[in-house]
Amino acid sequence: EFRRVLFRSNLAVMFWLDWHLTLISLVVVPLILWFQKYSVKVWPLFRRRQELQASLNVVIQENVAGIKLVKAYGREEFEADRFNAVNEEVRSVALQSWRVFGVTGPGQEFATYLSAIIIITVGGLRVMEGHLTIGDLSAFYAYVLTMFAPVRFLVFINQMALNALASGERIFEILDTPLDVMDRPGAVRLEHVSGSVTMDNVSFAYGKGAPLLRDISIDVPPGKTLALVGPSGSGKTTLVNLIPRFYDPTTGTVQIDGHDVRDIQVEALRAQMGMVMQETFLFNASIRENIAYGRADASMEEIEAAARAANAHPFISEMPNGYDTEIGERGTRLSGGQRQRLAIARAILVDPRILILDEATSSVDNQTDYLIRQALDSLMEGRTTIVIAHRLSTVQRAHQIAVMEAGRITARGTHAELLRSSPLYAHLADIQFQLATEASASAGPATPVAQR
């Protein structure tokens, strides 16, 4: 607004000094406006550059995270070429955008200086003709420079604004994405639950795709354990993800203590749960901080007690700095079994009423499996537990086992009952028994194995 008033006041004084010279000096205005309009062409280039920059960041992240895999397969040259290809696209689009500003920036400078040349030339002639004094010409020239000074910097302001808009549009795409899971109006906050889990005719599909779960009905009483078994892709992980509301069922209801989980505040719901997943995620922090992640106010005694219950204290004690040892990004300085035991200690410290175990021992050796199962026994005691596992040694002691195939529960019962009634379960048991027998024969007498 101030600039607009200044422009108008300068223009008024210029007309008062010499209206002929004012009209002549304004002949460059259409040229300036054309350069301004031309500079808008850079907008799609800025947006494209942001998209390509995101792709470049993905390539860098993947190469850093998977550096061992890249080296193991000798794909350094391939990954370098992949990086260079995306980087070259970023460079190409950046050069295109700078070419646009290479025209508009100097173009506007040229237009303003052209106006100055016209004023000095025509103004000099009018001074010689006696229509204008040298003082008036000097004042007129000063007013013109004051009026056009903001225009000279407008191209740079325009560049920053368009760049910010392109970046902001990418950010707001994420911020404006509607949440799939959120609290309903009037959602209740459950402070304490007994831990019963019920699913009533639950079906689920991602978006408009084919259903992954069909008509699932289960009932897990408080303190009991339900084991889910079945081939990969049968929907076991998808099913347990409905309990903490990572997704909501397409049809049917999931209930905790008789309350539909959609009627419970999400934060309060998840506070009642602990999860130990197959892919354990640890932060680039100390062991103590990782164990206490779910309870930042936990005392050192509580943290150590949780570690002891998870069979993690012995190896932690051997670390250079004990519980203050930094474990690296994603816990890279620890073995798979050690990471799993820290995850179990983290869950024990939270003291959840409902426990979800998803393939917690699938990728460890028998000895580590035995240690982790001991830790899990401590964790599962007195808690409602839903466990997913391929190793029958983990599930055969469950109060109830459900066999899943193609998104449905096709059989349920105890280990002994399913061996008689479910061909699929019997087949899985045979495979596990053979694998356990072979492992025991090759390793010698060491670790207890599951008995068929």
Confidence at residue 430, expressed as pLDDT on a 0 to 100 scale: 78
The more confidently predicted of residues 445 and 9 is: 9
Compute the mean pLDDT over every residue in the chain, rounded to the nearest whole number.
79
Three-state secondary-structure class, residue 211: coil
Task: Report which of 350, 210, 212 is spatially closest to residue 294, judged by C-alpha positions.
Answer: 350
Q: Are strands 354-358 and 273-276 parallel, antiparallel or unpaired?
A: parallel
Q: In this structure, are residues 449 and 436 in contact, taking their beta carbons and an 8 Å threshold?
A: yes
Confidence at residue 449, expressed as pLDDT on a 0 to 100 scale: 42
Task: Report which of 150, 124, 172 is spatially closest to residue 36, judged by C-alpha positions.
Answer: 150
**204-240: burial string, b at 16+ Cβ within 10 Å, e else:** bbeeeeeebbbebebebeebbbbbbbbeeebbbbbbb
Confidence at residue 450, expressed as pLDDT on a 0 to 100 scale: 45
pLDDT classification of 10: cutoffs 50, 70, 90: low
User: 44: buried, middle or exposed (CB in 10 Å: 19+, 13-18, 0-12)?
Assistant: middle
> pLDDT for 362-399, tens place per residue?
555 666 667 667 777 766 777 888 888 766 666 777 88
Is the full-model pTM beyond 0.85?
A: no
Mean pLDDT of 253-280: 85
> pLDDT for 85-138, tens place per residue?
989 988 988 888 878 777 777 777 777 777 777 777 877 787 787 777 778 777
For residue 86, which amino acid is it? V
Q: Are strands 400-405 and 225-229 parallel, antiparallel or unpaired?
A: parallel
pLDDT classification of 1: cutoffs 50, 70, 90: very low
Q: Which of 284-293, 320-329, 384-393 has the lowest mean pLDDT?
A: 384-393
Task: Report which of 99, 141, 133 is spatially closest to residue 117, judged by C-alpha positions.
Answer: 141
Neighbours of 421 (CB within 10 A): 13
**338-358: burial string, b at 16+ Cβ within 10 Å, e else:** bbbbbbbbbbbbbebbbbbbb
Q: In this structure, are residues 449 and 437 in contact, taking their beta carbons and an 8 Å threshold?
A: yes
Percent of the chain scoring above 90 in pLDDT: 3
Mean pLDDT of 276-295: 84
